């Protein structure tokens, strides 16, 4: 009975987190994911979890992400990928190359600071900074990352990313305009149809009018999960999770090409809800005591990757004459994920770039698993 109650707590407590974000603007600024981590860490380190809780935790981490990934990708508009402006696409490619290069350089600088299998962290960071939290969670399973390492990596990421965003919101545009050209408007009367995407974006997805759509999306996600899981019967044990997750990602992208699937309402929100469940579960598996003595090197590595890749992105973009606002929005979409795109667009008073920024971010979600896995395997062989 205690394990059943624990399972129900994990599944439904994120509703309370979303309620807090919906009700209190100051809590919403903290963010649902960070709150889920915070509650999870407190729960896991109070020594109140019932005996056998690890079985529940392992099961939920193995189920939530494979179900969440398709739901997050069903609404992907692949056709829009080919319609974004050439300079936006160039900026995205430069940003991705910059992250990968800096992850490699940082690996050689910071490797040996107390973490075993440091190559896994490199893969996590590439997935995180080309996609976002869903990719980080997927790669945790693909690379079999220790829960303690995963939680401290994501915790430090949220800390450094907050500093990064503060820089962009305050003086980033003025600093970059010393190096890059100014943005030239091409749609002076354009309207922002994505206003408010960062405000209570996951609240109310369970309402009655969305239930049929969500059941269809969840059912298809289960089918994709089942097909991906069946591949474990034909691949070696060491590569099973990688094959399953990459297959699920690929099938989800292909499913998004079907109009009926692509138009399903609120599937992205349900996917992010499962990410909240995963975040709280994985945080409750972490032991804060294990962070002592091993964290500083990782903190520096993450800081190095975020800021040095940004600097490299800016200077390479100068060679291609890419404007300040485009660089800022693509960097934000990849480093911090799509929900932060309108935040930066509002800060720099340029709504025209929101659509392209969101498109880049969604592309990052789709590419992150592949890039993170490939980079991790290369680092492993070095």
Number of domains in the chain: 1
If one compares 101 and 340, the residue with the highest pLDDT of the two is 101
Secondary structure, 3-state, 71-128: HHHCCCCHHHHCCCCHHHHHHHHHHHHHHHHHHHHHHHHHCCCCCCCHHHHHHHHHHH
* Segments forming the whole domain that contains residue 274: 2-183+194-381
If one compares 315 and 286, the residue with the highest pLDDT of the two is 315
**Alpha helix stretches (DSSP H) within 168-266:** 173-176, 211-230, 240-255, 259-262
* 8 Å CB contact between 101 and 373: no
pLDDT digits (tens, 9 = 90+) for 201-237: 577 788 888 899 999 999 999 999 999 889 888 877 6
pLDDT at 251 over 80: yes
The CA distance from 200 to 339, in Å, is 11
pLDDT at 351 over 60: yes
Q: What is the mean pLDDT of the chain?
A: 84
If one compares 32 and 325, the residue with the highest pLDDT of the two is 325
pLDDT at 238 over 70: no
If one compares 378 and 253, the residue with the highest pLDDT of the two is 378
pLDDT at 189 over 60: no
Does the residue 163 lie in any domain?
yes
pLDDT confidence band for 83 (50 / 70 / 90):
low
Does the residue 189 lie in any domain?
no
pLDDT at 356 over 90: no
pLDDT at 16 over 60: yes
Does the residue 117 lie in any domain?
yes
- Write down the pLDDT at residue 361: 84
If one compares 181 and 208, the residue with the highest pLDDT of the two is 181
pLDDT digits (tens, 9 = 90+) for 89-110: 999 999 999 999 999 999 999 9
This prediction has a pTM of: 0.72
If one compares 47 and 85, the residue with the highest pLDDT of the two is 47
pLDDT at 352 over 80: no
* 8 Å CB contact between 62 and 47: no
Does the residue 141 lie in any domain?
yes
Does the residue 296 lie in any domain?
yes
Percentage, residues of the chain above pLDDT 90: 34
Does the residue 205 lie in any domain?
yes
Q: What is the mean pLDDT of residues 292-318?
A: 88
Does the residue 364 lie in any domain?
yes
Does the residue 150 lie in any domain?
yes
């Amino acid at each position: 009975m205690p394990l059943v109650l624990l399972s129900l707590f994990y599944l439904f407590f994120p509703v309370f987190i979303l309620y807090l974000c919906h009700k209190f603007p100051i809590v919403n600024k903290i963010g649902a994911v960070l709150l889920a981590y915070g509650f999870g860490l407190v729960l896991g380190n109070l020594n109140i979890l019932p005996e056998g809780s690890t079985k529940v935790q392992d099961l939920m981490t193995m189920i939530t992400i494979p179900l969440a990934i398709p739901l997050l990708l069903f609404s992907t508009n692949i056709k829009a990928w080919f319609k974004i402006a050439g300079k936006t696409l160039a900026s995205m490619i430069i940003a991705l190359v910059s992250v990968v290069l800096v992850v490699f350089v940082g690996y050689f600088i910071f490797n040996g600071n107390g973490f075993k299998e440091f190559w896994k962290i490199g893969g996590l960071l590439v997935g995180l900074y080309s996609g976002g939290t869903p990719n980080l969670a997927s790669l945790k399973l693909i690379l079999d990352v220790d829960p303690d390492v995963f939680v401290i990596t994501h915790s430090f990421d949220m800390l450094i990313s907050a500093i990064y965003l503060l820089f962009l919101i305050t003086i980033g545009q003025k600093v970059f305009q010393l190096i890059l050209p100014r943005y030239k408007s091409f749609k002076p009367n354009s309207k922002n149809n994505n206003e408010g995407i960062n405000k209570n974006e996951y609240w109310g997805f369970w309402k009655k009018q969305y239930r049929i759509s969500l059941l269809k999306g969840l059912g298809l996600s289960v089918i994709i999960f089942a097909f991906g899981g069946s591949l474990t019967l034909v691949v070696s044990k060491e590569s099973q999770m990688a094959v399953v997750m990459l297959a699920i990602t690929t099938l989800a992208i292909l499913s998004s090409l079907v109009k009926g699937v692509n138009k399903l309402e609120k599937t992205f929100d349900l996917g992010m809800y499962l990410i909240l469940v995963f975040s709280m579960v994985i945080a409750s598996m972490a032991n804060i005591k294990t962070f002592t003595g091993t964290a500083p090197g990782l903190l520096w590595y993450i800081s190095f990757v975020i800021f040095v890749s940004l600097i490299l992105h800016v200077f390479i973009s100068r060679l291609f004459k890419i404007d300040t606002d485009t660089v800022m929005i693509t960097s934000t979409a990849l480093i911090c994920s799509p929900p932060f795109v309108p935040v930066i667009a509002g800060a720099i008073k340029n709504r025209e770039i929101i659509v392209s920024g969101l498109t880049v971010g969604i592309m990052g979600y789709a590419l992150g698993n592949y890039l993170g896995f490939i980079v991790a395997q290369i680092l492993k062989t070095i």
